[in-house]
Amino acid sequence: MLAQAEPKFTEVNQQYYKEGWNWGTVSVIILLHLGAIAALFMFNWRAFASAVLLYWMCTGLGISLGYHRLHTHRSYKTSRLLEYFFAVCGALTLEGGPIFWVATHRIHHQNSDLPGDPHSPRDGAWWAHVGWILVGESKHNNTLLMSKYAPDLARHRFYVWLNNWHWVPSVVLGAILLAIGGLPMLLWGGFFRIVFGLHATWLINSATHMWGARRFNTRDDSRNNFLIALISFGEGWHNNHHAHPTSARHGLAWWEFDISWLTLKLLRTIGLVRKVQVATVKSRIVEKEAA
* C-alpha count within 13 angstroms, C-beta hemisphere, residue 290: 0
CB 198 within 8 A of CB 222: no
Strands (E), the chain: 77-78, 213-214, 273-274, 287-288
25, pLDDT greater than 70: yes
pLDDT bracket for residue 14 (50, 70, 90): low
CB 74 within 8 A of CB 245: no
Q: What is the pLDDT of residue 5?
A: 35
For the full predicted model, state whether its pTM sits above 0.85: yes
Span 214-238, mean pLDDT? 97
pLDDT bracket for residue 144 (50, 70, 90): confident
pLDDT bracket for residue 141 (50, 70, 90): confident
Helices assigned H by DSSP within 40-167: 45-55, 80-91, 98-110, 125-126, 132-134, 143-146, 151-154, 157-164
Residue 68's nearest CA partner among 272, 234, 209 is 234
Q: What is the pLDDT of residue 291?
A: 29
Please enumerate in sequence order all residues whose Cβ is within 8 A of that of 213, keeping only pairs 6 or more positions apart, or say none.
Answer: 223, 224, 225, 239, 285, 287, 288, 289, 291
Span 144-161, mean pLDDT? 94
